[in-house]
Amino acid sequence: MQEERFEIPAADGELVGHRGGDGPPALLLHGGPGVSDYTAPLADELHGLFETIRYTQRGTLPSTVGPPYSVEAHVADALAVLDHWELEQAWVVGHSWGAHLALHLAIAQPERLLGIVCVGPLGGRGDVFEELGRNLRRGLTPEQIEFVDEYEARRREGTATLDETRERLRLFWPNYFARPADAPPMPEVAIGVECSAGTNASLARHYETRTLEQGLPNVRLPALVVHGVLDPLPLRTATDTAALIEGSEVETIADCGHWPWLEQPGALRRIVEGFLARRGHHDGFA
pLDDT > 70? residue 184: yes
Q: State the average pLDDT for the chain.
A: 94
pLDDT of amino acid 259: 97
pLDDT of amino acid 123: 83
pLDDT > 80? residue 283: no
Distance of CA 39 to the CA centre of its chain: 9
Average pLDDT of the segment spanning 169-198:
94
Pairing of strands 13-21, 51-55: antiparallel
| The model scores a pTM over 0.85 | yes
Query: Higher-confidence residue: 197 or 272?
Result: 272
Helix (H, G, I), strand (E, B) or coil at 184: coil
48-50-51-53 Cα dihedral, nearest 10 degrees: -130
For residue 135, the surrounding DSSP H or E stretch is: helix 129-136
Task: Bin 25: left if φ > 0, else alpha if -120 < ψ < 50, else beta.
Answer: beta
CA distances (Å), 68 to each of 48, 73, 196, 268, in order?
Answer: 36, 7, 11, 33
pLDDT of amino acid 281: 63
Pairing of strands 90-95, 113-119: parallel
Dump pLDDT digits (tens) for 217-241.
Answer: 999 999 999 999 999 999 999 999 9
pLDDT > 70? residue 261: yes
May I ask the CATH architecture of the domain 3-127+191-284? 3-Layer(aba) Sandwich (3.40)
Q: Which amino acid is at 197?
A: A
